[in-house]
Amino acid sequence: MLKIVAAAIGGVALVALVAWFGGREIGADVLHAGWAIPGNILIHMVQLGCASVAWWLLVGDRQHSRFSFLRLRMIREGVNSLLPVAQIGGPVVAIRVMIAQGINGALAAAGTTLDLTVEAAMQLIFTLAGLALLSGEGLNPEWAPWVEGGLITGLVGLLAFVLAQRAGLMRLIEKLLVKLQTLFPKLSLESLQGLHDELLRLQKDRGILAKAAVLQLFSWSGGCFEVWLGLYAMGHPLDLAQCFIIESLGMAARSAGFAVPGALGIQEGGFILVGGLFGLPPELALALSMLKRAREVSVGCVGLLLWQWSEIKRWLNKA
């Protein structure tokens, strides 16, 4: 219920922003730049490719190809982006699909947890790089301390999450799973036992962690090309460094609004604030966000279809 309320509030905020800054003008900008959407999809698929290889490396299951993890990543993103599940539903659905594909449940859950941890760490670095470039541009907006405060909070939260993993958070989850299995025998949660040991085992391979971190950082950074292409298509080109700043801080705003499905209204507000530093009018910033939304819906719908197809195959195999 709370997710539906949050989605409604975010939707109202988005509609209000579009109405305030001129829906007709924003729509015209999006239509004018519509040819960039296929390019944005291609760029995003490269980002997803990097992220999926990082996930594949961390899980360490060589019986499944990198391409299978690209499908899993698309499912994960489709669920997170288009369904009112905040950022939790996508990984849960992905773990379910991984188990259905024959990956051990504990390995699937541990590898996905580690992937989420590395991804969050690299976003912090990505945001920090954006702030450094912003300082290099000689800009120090009034809201910059809020971003810095968010970075510190995110770092503390990430360290706490890692320490909790080491201290036995997964053992606690295992105990909860045992109780759930007792109450609901049909859940079939036995394969998730050993989650703590699997996670600690995966964390020991520093070389794999470093490779996954580099790939995740490439994935985050690739979004600046999407911003560049969108602005170029709308006749307001900026250099790549400025696009990097817009993408890094815009995505930081989106992540801060994780409680709102799709970060509706939050992403748009972030682009308006950061884009304004480089002379980007609010209506163009909103149009840029709408181009990203169009790409998000396109890729997300494919992800949802892949998920449903995997569920159909699962049902057919049981029949």
Length reported for the chain: 319
User: What's the pLDDT tens digit per position in 34-93?
Assistant: 999 999 999 999 999 999 999 999 998 878 889 999 999 999 999 998 888 767 789 989
Q: How many CB atoms lie within 10 A of CB 156?
A: 10
User: In the predicted model, what is the mean pLDDT of residues 161-180?
Assistant: 77
Which amino acid belongs to residue 171? Answer: R
User: What's the pLDDT tens digit per position in 147-167?
Assistant: 888 888 999 999 998 888 888
What is residue 319's predicted lDDT score, i.e. its pLDDT? 62
Mean pLDDT taken over the chain: 87
Q: How many CB atoms lie within 10 A of CB 148?
A: 13
User: What's the pLDDT tens digit per position in 199-226?
Assistant: 999 999 999 999 999 999 999 999 999 9
Confidence check: pLDDT of 174 > 70: yes
Q: How many CB atoms lie within 10 A of CB 211?
A: 15
- Classified as helix, coil or strand, 220 is helix
Q: 292 near 230, Cβ under 8 Å?
A: yes
Nearest of 129, 114, 68 to residue 208 by alpha carbon = 114
Tokens of 43: 């760029």
Question: Dihedral (C-alpha) 82, 56, 122, 227: value to the nearest 10 degrees?
Answer: -50
User: What's the pLDDT tens digit per position in 252-286?
Assistant: 988 887 777 778 888 988 999 999 999 999 999 99
